[in-house]
Amino acid sequence: MTTLATLDIDGRIARIALNRPDKLNAFTAQMHADLRFALDTVETAPALASLVIIGAGRAFCAGQDLTERARGPDEPAVDIGETLGRDMNPLIERIRALPFPVIAAVNGVAAGAGASLALAADIVVAGRSAKFSFGFCKIGLMPDGGATYSLPRLIGPARAGLLALTGETVSGEEAVAMGLISRVVDDDALTDEAARLAAYFTTQPPAALAATKRALAASLSNDLAAQLELERLTQQRLGFSADYAEGVSAFVSRRAPVFGTKR
């Protein structure tokens, strides 16, 4: 059977492609199972430096496959609390917990849970024709997949309220202007830009990247004093590392650093 989440690992770079292009990569239970399988490998592969998530075909992900939720008048509703607990919530948490940069390459529509997935990445790069929408309310639900967490933090409560309550679609350009995503590029440059970023991280010190991710995440709930202390303790550890010694040595001897793969 065709996998609905294709995983490729090339050296220290992993790439997951959502693979239901004819349905704009809408999530199904099978796609979630395939994503779990792909993440099992990504989490245990040695020395990965980055992960790119992209959609096959013309979309990133059109959200939950609504045909899986359709029912006849006498059929019971799907328990979404149960499916979120099994599928979406662990997916978002596992992506957020990866100790290396995750890049979402948004190559078209990112709607509903598909938009939430994009925002789980550390860096979101979109093609100019990408579209983001959080139109959950339009079908009688509220944003999920961490969108109510990430939206106010990324773009502030005023714009989060607008996008979440109206489901208004924003373009790649608008998304970058409001701070929802990291960068927009021409559509035909998107895969190259994601690959360039992914390759860049293979040249960088893994422990520093992992520590930076952890500190940025912790800052969302820490006060300044706690964050300063976290920085002090983590920097203390990094300051004794071979990669830091290499970074300084490379700088003073005007050469490119060669870092290890240890986190």
Residues lying near ligand T3D in the complex (CB under 6 A): 23-24, 26, 62-67, 69, 80, 83, 109, 111-113, 135-136, 139, 141, 144
CB of 130 to ligand T3D, least distance (A): 12
CB of 6 to ligand T3D, least distance (A): 18
Q: Indicate the residue among 64 and 107 with the shorter CB distance to ligand T3D.
A: 64
Query: How many degrees, rounded to 5, is the angle at CA 94 between CA 144 and CA 258?
Result: 130
Q: Indicate the residue among 77 and 158 with the shorter CB distance to ligand T3D.
A: 77
CB of 117 to ligand T3D, least distance (A): 9
Alpha carbons 31 and 253: distance in angstroms, whole number: 50
Q: From residue 21, give the alpha-carbon distance in Å to each of 57, 75, 139.
A: 5, 29, 23
CB of 121 to ligand T3D, least distance (A): 17
Pairing of strands 123-127, 102-106: parallel
Q: From residue 145, give the alpha-carbon distance in Å to each of 63, 88, 108, 151, 245.
A: 10, 6, 19, 11, 40
Q: Indicate the residue among 169 and 241 with the shorter CB distance to ligand T3D.
A: 169
Q: Indicate the residue among 62 and 91 with the shorter CB distance to ligand T3D.
A: 62
CB of 150 to ligand T3D, least distance (A): 15
Q: Indicate the residue among 32 and 213 with the shorter CB distance to ligand T3D.
A: 32
Longest dimension (CA), the chain: 75
Q: From residue 97, give the alpha-carbon distance in Å to each of 26, 39, 63, 111, 175.
A: 23, 11, 22, 23, 24
| Under 8 Å between Cβ of 263 and 210 | yes
Structure tokens, 250: 């490379």
